Amino acid sequence: MELDPDKSVGYQVRLTHRALDRLLSTKLADRGLKTGYWYYLRVLWTEEGMTQKQLSDLINVRENTTVAMILGMEKDGLVKRERHPTDRRKMCVNLTKKGRNLRDELLPLANEINRMAGQGISAADLKTCLRVLGQVQKNLMS
């Protein structure tokens, strides 16, 4: 059974993700940040105080990966961990001032990368692409 890479959703999404990730990595490295931090910062800029488990679920990574990433971010002064107010076994993650302030610097970079990715593609086609990718995700997560 043959699977033409040009007709494989998985292969095309992977190539696209790698290209986007490489560009983002370069821009973050220029600022002394690890690529993995982006995914956590992006979530925490929206809602702070989540548990490590909640972060893992939202980012779709294993909890041990999240623990390692949060420890690195804590060491770099971007987040602080605090005990959950009602369940002392859980740790909640909050941004530091430094982590919060990165939002205004990094979101424009992400917007720039998205603009570059969408060059020469109509707004309608980009909207369709996002809708289709959303459906692909739903199909695979159910």
Which tens digits make up the pLDDT trace of 108-139? 999 999 999 999 999 999 999 999 999 999 99
The 3-class SS string of 46-89 reads HCCCEEHHHHHHHHCCCHHHHHHHHHHHHHCCCEEEEECCCCCC
- Residue 40 to residue 45: CA distance in whole angstroms: 9
For 27, left (φ over 0), alpha (ψ -120 to 50), or beta? alpha
Q: Which of 68-82, 83-97, 121-135 has the lowest mean pLDDT?
A: 83-97
What type of residue is 31? R
pLDDT for 138 equals: 93
Contacts of 52 (CB under 8 A, 6+ apart): 63, 66, 67, 70, 81, 90, 91, 93
- Average pLDDT of span 27-48: 94
Element (H, E) at 14: helix 9-29
Q: State the pLDDT confidence band at 88, using cuts at 50, 70 and 90.
A: confident
Q: Which of 10-19, 39-48, 79-88, 103-112 has the lowest mean pLDDT?
A: 79-88
pLDDT for 85 equals: 86
pLDDT for 87 equals: 85
What type of residue is 39? Y
pLDDT for 5 equals: 87
pLDDT for 142 equals: 78
- Average pLDDT of span 64-79: 95
pLDDT for 97 equals: 97
Residue corresponding to tokens 């990595």 = 25
- Residue 56 to residue 108: CA distance in whole angstroms: 25
